[in-house]
Amino acid sequence: MNTTYAPPAADIDVPRSRALIVAGIGLVGCAIGFYVNDEQFYRSWLIAYLLFLGITLGSMAMVMIQHLSGGSWGVFRRIFEASSRTIVLLMVLFIPVLIGMTSLYPWTSDELAKDPIVMQKLAYLNVPFFIGRVVFYFAMWGGLSYLLNKWSQQQDSGDVAVNTRIQRLSGAGLVIYALTVTFAGIDWIMSLNPHWYSTLFGFLMMGGQGLAALAFTVVVATFLFRREPMSRLLKPQHFADLGKLMFAFVMLYAYFNFSQYMLTFAANLTEEIPYMTVRISNGWQYLALFLTIFHFAVPWLLLLSRNVKRSSHRLVVIAVWLIFMRFADIYMLVSPEFAATGENLHVMKGEHVSHFFLYFTDLAAPLAIGGLWVWMFFTQLKQRPLFAAGDPYLREALESGGGH
């Protein structure tokens, strides 16, 4: 078997072109939304941005885990790597969040700077330090992505010595990933309500990103599985491996969420209670119930089935649904901190109640960012063979999956 001959599918430019069309439609909607209500636009942009950032960073983490552990699911490494290389685009797409900081983050206002709780956090929650951390996060993520992909190419060219370097980088990189993702979650989501804090929030971020990355990889792998050369090489067992990982991350994310809720309920602290009570009242409780059932219970039950995990056309339905649920979950993290006008200062201080609401930019922003991100992903995917020929575990992975 010559694993080096595994070029991308011939019709890969079709989804690339369609993604740009979708992005164009979304950008037009975002432009209209920005003109009508710029505060709502910034909120919608942040939610959509976090979804696709999660796929990118989760994929990068999966690359590092695969380098350290091996396993037959490594046949999908090129998909994870292509996803990780979209970090350059995401650097650019973060600019609207920086522009809209004063609309998104109440601690940027002079009024809230006099709040006793916020005053204790101003050494951390201030605009120059916030921007500095943003630069640092992207420098770390961009550097990891660059080295992982560069050394992966060297590995394909037959450089055996790079195997040790890439494993060492993966070990240190996972630590860097965990720390940067935790603090980015604190900065970009938790600080929407500077009165609230959770020691589990970093784990929630990492669990959600891992699940989103696996779900997206299932979608792309199913697309490639229906085309040469992947249709000859991928087998049901390979999809079963991804299904098992998705099953594990569904349980893991549910465990983190339940633990956060249970600890808040048990501690009964003034700073933590409002975050939970707003999400179980005024219409948000229905979204919370929806997430409990369809982000955990239903996928968990379906993924128990061995036949479902081995069937790509069944598994992809669950994967697409989980990507949608990741969007709904991020919406639940962000939107209850805002009133229907987009104002978050008064909701945090308890002067107004946040009722469940949707705005048309909540659809336009995912189309815009998602279209651009998918275009970039397929652009990166077509630049390299679909199999990492230098992966020392590749032959074993294909053979264990029933390949020849």
Q: Is the pLDDT of residue 349 over 60?
A: no
* Residue 271: exposure state from Cβ atoms within 10 A (0-12, 13-18, ≥19): middle
Q: For residue range 182-227, what is the model confidence (pLDDT) as tens digits?
A: 999 999 999 999 988 899 999 999 999 999 999 999 999 999 988 8
Using alpha carbons, list the distances in angstroms from residue 318 to 163, 187, 219, 275, 291.
Answer: 35, 31, 9, 30, 14
Distance CA 155, CA 145 (A): 15
Is residue 341 over pLDDT 90? no
Q: How far is CA 211 from CA 141, 216, 319, in A?
A: 19, 9, 9
What are the b/e assignments for 330-369, b being 16+ CB within 10 Å?
Answer: bbbbbbbbbbeebbbbebbeeeeebebbebebbebbbbbb
Question: What pLDDT is recorded for position 9?
Answer: 67
Which pLDDT does position 200 carry in this prediction? 92
Instruction: Tell me what percent of the residues of the chain surpass a pLDDT of 70.
Output: 93
Give the pLDDT band of residue 316 (cuts 50, 70, 90). very high
Percent of the chain exceeding pLDDT 90 equals 67
* Closest listed residue to residue 145, CA positions, set 66, 207, 70, 88: 88
Tell me how far CA of residue 7 lies from CA of 85, 382, 401, in angstroms: 18, 8, 20
For the residues of 2-29, what is the DSSP string, one character each? Answer: -TT--PPPTTTHHHHHHHHHHHHHHHHH
Q: Are 48 and 369 in contact (CB under 8 A)?
A: yes
Per mean pLDDT, which range of 28-37, 155-164, 247-256, 326-335 is the poorest? 155-164
- For residues 384, 389, 395, 396, the Cα torsion angle rounded to the nearest 10 degrees is -80
* Confidence band of 171 (pLDDT split at 50, 70, 90): very high
* pLDDT band at 340; cut points 50, 70, 90: low
What is the C-alpha to C-alpha distance for residues 86 and 249, in angstroms, rounded to an integer? 23
Kindly tell me if the per-residue pLDDT of 402 is higher than 50: no
Residue 39 has a pLDDT of 93
Residue ranges covered by each domain of the chain: 13-389
Q: Over the stretch 42-91, which tens digit does the pLDDT of each residue have?
A: 999 999 999 999 999 999 999 999 999 887 788 899 999 999 999 999 99
Q: Which two tokens stand for residue 321?
A: 């649904």
In this structure, of 143-147, 258-262, 301-305, 367-371, the range with the lowest mean pLDDT score is 258-262
Residue 404 has pLDDT above 60, yes or no: no
Give the residue-averaged pLDDT of 106-127: 85
At residue 272, the pLDDT reads 81
Task: Using pLDDT thresholds of 50, 70 and 90, give the confidence band for residue 353.
Answer: low
The residues near 292 (Cβ < 8 Å, ≥ 6 apart) are none
- The count of other CB atoms within 10 Å of the CB of residue 255 is 14
